[in-house]
Amino acid sequence: MSTSQPVRPLIAIVGSVDASRTFTPPLVSADLGSDACRELGRELALAGCDLAVFSSKTKYIEPAVVAGYAEACTAESPGRVVAYPPRHRSVDFALQEGSHVTVDVVRDTSGEWEVSYYRTLLSCDGVTMVGGGQSTRIAGVIALAQKVPVLPVAAFGGGANQVWINLDKVRNDTDDADISLLGSDWTSTSASRLVACLSGQRERKAARELEEVKRQRAASWSGFAGWAVAVLCMGLAVASLVTAGDARAADARNLSALVGAPLLASVAGAVIRNSFVAESSWPRACIRGMGAGLVTVLLYVASQLLSVPTLMDKLDVRRLLFITIPLGFTAGFTFDLVFERLRSSAIGAAPPGSELLSSSAPSVGPSEPQG
């Protein structure tokens, strides 16, 4: 029996700590940047991550990260580096012979590096940023907007520092401890703690997405249940036309049919109307529809009793149901709409007679106290 291999997270590597280049914001402690990147690479390998890189030029952090990554990979735990260069460029990380790292080159059809660069970020499971400039900052903004876990190492300044500031505003799947860690100075334990921070973000993101899936699934099942209740109630209401019986003196059976069938129809109408509303709750719609249907049916029967006082002596329920069932359905279907209009008109409306009070109120002169 074959067992499926666990999916390894793909972490994009972005940035530069080249002191000969000018960045805004400027780099900080650039002399420590290369060693820090090697340590990050080793920790990413130990965490079981794959790397997504875009260049093998030494002015970027990718060669240092890949070098540290290759040092930590073994035959029992090999690594994988996926390079995404433009079609006219090549990559060569000069890995030692016998290295346990596989380098896969995925060339983009576009000749512009920006297309491959920003497109790849959206397919990664995380982005690690050290130093860098404008492109690093934009990469971080894109990752933050798409809620991709990010690891902006602010200790070396540059664009990664700006991403850290932006992350503090949006947070996504980070907490106060993560923000404090990302902004701390570089120490001998920073690499392991930062990679653990990235793993924590990924776990929280996975948990959040799982909860969202569960919520959507529960909402779907609730919607199906509401539709099933509506169909059942409407079917029972229509079936009462067959079981109503002939005209006879009013008793518990035909009075129950006279009131119950329209109530079922009003419940069906309320649930159907409620299904068109986001974040709907069909049980509450059932109660509201039942109330609207009950009032409507009782008012209709009362009007009939006023015009025909002997109605109960020979009650023809079947004939009345042809009118009361549609009335009940309409009452349930339109109740939410009418209620919302009444409520919206009530909010903000001035009390009757308030304009008279305001016009008759004595004016206060400038010299009088206004307690």
Residues 308-349 have pLDDT tens digits of: 888 888 888 998 999 999 999 998 898 766 666 555 655 554
Indicate the number of domains in the chain. 2
Give residue 293's pLDDT: 87
Confidence label for 368 from pLDDT (cuts 50, 70 and 90): very low
Q: What is the pLDDT of residue 32?
A: 95
The interaxial angle of helices 113-121 and 134-145, nearest 10 deg, is: 30
* Per-residue confidence (pLDDT) for residue 340, from 0 to 100: 62
Amino acid at the residue 6:
P
Which tens digit of pLDDT belongs to each residue from 92-138? 999 988 899 999 999 877 767 787 788 899 999 999 999 999 999 99
User: Do residues 231 and 163 share a domain?
Assistant: no
pLDDT at 24 over 70: yes
Is residue 355's pLDDT more than 70? no
**Angle subtended by helix axes 282-307 and 252-274, to nearest 10:** 140
Mean pLDDT score across all residues of the chain: 87
Strand 126-131 to 79-83 pairing: unpaired
- 181 and 247, same domain (yes or no): no
CA distance 310 to 313: 5
Domain shared by 142 and 281, yes or no: no
pLDDT of residue 324: 92
Specify if 363 maps to a domain.
no
Distance from C-alpha of 91 to C-alpha of 83, rounded to nearest angstrom = 7
| Residue-wise pLDDT tens digits, 137-183 | 999 999 999 999 999 999 999 999 999 999 999 999 999 999 999 99
Which class for 356: exposed (0-12), middle (13-18), buried (19 or more C-beta within 10 A)? exposed
Residue 335 lies in a domain: yes
Q: How confident is the model over 195-207, as a mean pLDDT?
A: 96
Supply the pLDDT for residue 344. Answer: 62
3-state secondary structure labels for all residues of the chain: CCCCCCCCCEEEEEEECCCCCCCCCCECCHHHHHHHHHHHHHHHHHCCCEEEECCCCCCCCHHHHHHHHHHHCCCCCCEEEEECCECCCCCCCCCCCCCCEEEEECCECCCCHHHHHHHHHCCCCEEEEEECCHHHHHHHHHHHHCCCCEEEEHHHEHHHHHHHHHHHHHCCCCCHHHHHHHCCCCCCCHHHHHHHHHHHHHHHHHHHHHHHHHHHHHHHHHHHHHHHHHHHHHHHHHHHHHHCCCCECCCHHHHHHHHHHHHHHHHHHHHHHHCCCCCCCHHHHHHHHHHHHHHHHHHHHHHHHHHCCCHHHHECHHHHHHHHHHHHHHHHHHHHHHHHHHHHHHCCCCCCCHHHHHHHCCCCCCCCCCC
Do 176 and 293 belong together in one domain? no
178 and 247 share a domain? no
Q: Is residue 204 part of a domain?
A: no
- Give the span between the Cα atoms of 335 and 157, in whole angstroms: 60
| Residues with Cβ within 8 Å of residue 366, at least 6 apart in sequence | none
pLDDT at residue number 343: 58
Q: Is the pLDDT of residue 363 over 60?
A: no
Average pLDDT over residues 264-284: 84
Same domain, residue pair 150 and 238: no
Task: Give yes or no for residue 354 having a pLDDT over 50.
Answer: no
Whether 364 shows a pLDDT value over 50: the answer reads no
In this structure, the answer to whether residues 46 and 138 fall within a common structural domain is yes
What pLDDT does 245 receive? 81
Q: Which of 82, 79, 73, 162 is nearest to 121 (CA)?
A: 82
Report the amino acid identity of residue 200. G
Please check the confidence at residue 48 and state whether its pLDDT lies above 90: yes
> Residue 83 maps to which CATH number?
3.40.50.450
Tell me if 39 is assigned to some domain: yes
Contact 237, 264 (CB under 8 A): yes
Q: Is the domain of 340 the same as that of 235?
A: yes
pLDDT at 263: 93
49-82 pLDDT, tens digit each: 999 999 999 999 999 999 999 999 999 999 999 9
Asked if residue 168 belongs to a domain, the reply is: yes
pLDDT at position 367, please?
A: 43
**How sure is the predictor about 88, in pLDDT bands with cuts at 50, 70 and 90?**
confident
166 shares a domain with 28? yes
Please give the C-alpha separations between residue 352 and each of 93, 317, 342, 356, 358, in angstroms, as whole numbers. 81, 44, 16, 9, 12
Residues 182 and 223 both lie in one domain: no
In a domain, 371, yes or no: no
Residue 356 has pLDDT above 50, yes or no: no
**Are residues 280 and 138 both part of a single domain?**
no
Least confident of 203-212, 232-241, 358-367: 358-367
96 with 161, same domain: the answer is yes
Tell me the residue range of the domain where 18 lies. Answer: 10-186
